[in-house]
Structures are given as C-alpha cells and as structure tokens.
Amino acid sequence: MRKSWLLAVVLLLGFLALSAPARALASEYDRDEAGNPVRMVGTLAYPAGLVYEYLWLKPVHWLGRHTPFRQVFGQDTFDEAYN
C-alpha cells in the first residue's frame, strides 16, 4: 500500500513539473540592435501586416480554393477539372 502511495505522489509531482509553464526570459538589451531602423519599422508594421493577412489574404485564399474559382486562380489544372 505504501509503495502505491509513493508511486502516486511521484507521478503527481512529475506531472505537475511537466505541466508547469516555462519561465519566460527577457533577451539581453543590445544597444547596437535596439536602434536599428529596419527593426523599428518592422515592429511598427507587424500589426498592420497581421490585419492585412487576416482581413484580406486569408478570405481571398479561401475563396480561391472553391469550385468556380479554383481553375481561374490556378489551384486546379485543366486535366483535374475535366476528369
């Protein structure tokens, strides 16, 4: 009985250790990389690109995968369409 309790405790502790979130470590501040203008523009443009992807690119891609548009947008070859 004691061995089964010990095994249960060890398994529980192992599960808790594996399921605990990993610590997030901040990257070290590097003065040379911090003032890079390309990185600044990229940081500012990222949200706009994400909005562009989800509001325009994904719906257009979804539309292009469906039947009347597959052939028009090149998702289907002529052989696949007529077989």
Radius of gyration from C-alpha coordinates of the chain: 26
Q: Is residue 20 part of a domain?
A: no
Q: Is residue 3 part of a domain?
A: no
pLDDT, one tens digit per residue, over 26-65 is 677 777 767 778 888 888 999 999 999 999 999 988 888 7
Per the structure, the count of domains in the chain is 1
Q: Is residue 18 part of a domain?
A: no
- The model carries a pTM of 0.45
Task: Find the domain containing 50 and state its range.
Answer: 34-83
